[in-house]
Amino acid sequence: MTPTYQQLCLFTCDVARASGKFMAEERKSFDDSRIENKGLHDLVSYVDKESEKRIIAALQVLLPESGFIAEEGTCSKHGERYNWVIDPLDGTTNYIQGVPVYAVSIGLLDGDKLVLGVVYEVGRDECFYAWKDGGAYLNGNPIRVSERNDIQDALLATGFPYNDFSKLEEYLEFLKWTMTSARGVRRLGSAATDLAYVACGRFDAFWEYDLKPWDVAAGALIVTEAGGVVSDYRGGGNFLFGKEIIASNLLLKKLFLDKITEFIK
C-alpha cells in the first residue's frame, strides 16, 4: 500500500535531518580541494553529491516506483507518477565559505502537482514541512504567512542573479523600488530557506529569477499550505520550471505583482 502524503512527508523529514547531520559533520573538516565549478559562480562539492546519493537511496526504499529530478544528477530515473525534486544542499557557496545558512530541500510531484515539501535549515535545526491539504509546520508547530498589508512594514527577501544576467538592469530597478519602499530587503543565499521564512512569516515576500525546480519545489508547497501564494512574475503557475518566482502573503500579492511587471518584462 502506498503511504499517505502525511506519512511520506514525515519520513522525508527524517531523511532531510539525517542528510543535514551528515553535512554539518563534514563541515568540521571540509576539504576545499574537492570543490568543482559547474558554471559561472555555480559551485558543487563532494558533500552535495554524497548527500544527494544518501537522500535518493532512502527515498527509493520509501517509494520504489518514484523517479528523481535532482540537482547533481546522481540518479536520472523518471517515475510514471511520482517524482522527487531534490536539492541536497541549497546554499552551497554559504556552506563552502562557512556561512551557516544552507538547507536540504525535498519536494514530491504526484503527476504535475506538488504534494509535499520539506526544507531542513541545518544551521538552526529547523525543519519546515507540509503536505497537500495538511497545513504547514515548523518542528511540529503549525505556521502561517504574515498578515502585513503595507509594503512599508514588510521585510522582503531576494536572490541575486549569479549566472543569467540578461535581466540584471530590470532586476536592479525593481530592487531599488523595494529598498526604498519596504522595511528592508534580505539576501540569504538559499532560496529554499527564503521560501520557508515566507511560510512562517519572517519574510513577507520573496522573488528571484533563474532558479531551478529543486530550488523552489519544496518551499513553494510549504508557502501555499501556510496560506500564502506562489506564482511566476505574471501571476501564473509556471514557477517550478519557468525560472522565476514570487512568494508572498495574500495581502501583498497584487501590489508585488503589479510592481514587478512594471520593471521586469
Contact 245, 208 (CB under 8 A): yes
In the prediction, which pLDDT does 37 show?
61
In the prediction, which pLDDT does 44 show?
62
Q: How is residue 215 annotated by DSSP? A: H
In the prediction, which pLDDT does 239 show?
95
DSSP string, 233-255: TTSSSTTSSSSEEEEE-TTTHHH
Q: Which of 239, 199, 244, 192 minimizes the C-alpha distance to 218?
A: 192
In the prediction, which pLDDT does 255 show?
93
Question: Model-level pTM greater than 0.75?
Answer: yes
160 phi/psi in degrees, rounded to 5: -75, 145
Q: Which of 71, 57, 62, 8 minimizes the C-alpha distance to 217?
A: 71
Class of domain 151-263: alpha beta
Q: Would you write out the chain's pLDDT as a tens digit for each of its 265 residues?
A: 778 999 999 999 999 999 999 999 888 877 666 666 654 444 567 788 889 999 999 999 999 999 999 877 777 788 899 999 999 999 988 998 889 999 999 999 999 999 999 999 999 999 999 999 999 999 999 999 999 999 999 999 999 987 888 889 999 999 999 999 999 999 999 999 999 999 999 999 999 999 999 999 999 999 999 999 999 999 999 999 999 999 999 999 999 999 999 988 7
What is the domain partition of the chain in residue ranges? 5-142, 151-263
Name the CATH superfamily housing domain 5-142. Answer: Fructose-1,6-Bisphosphatase, subunit A, domain 1 (3.30.540.10)
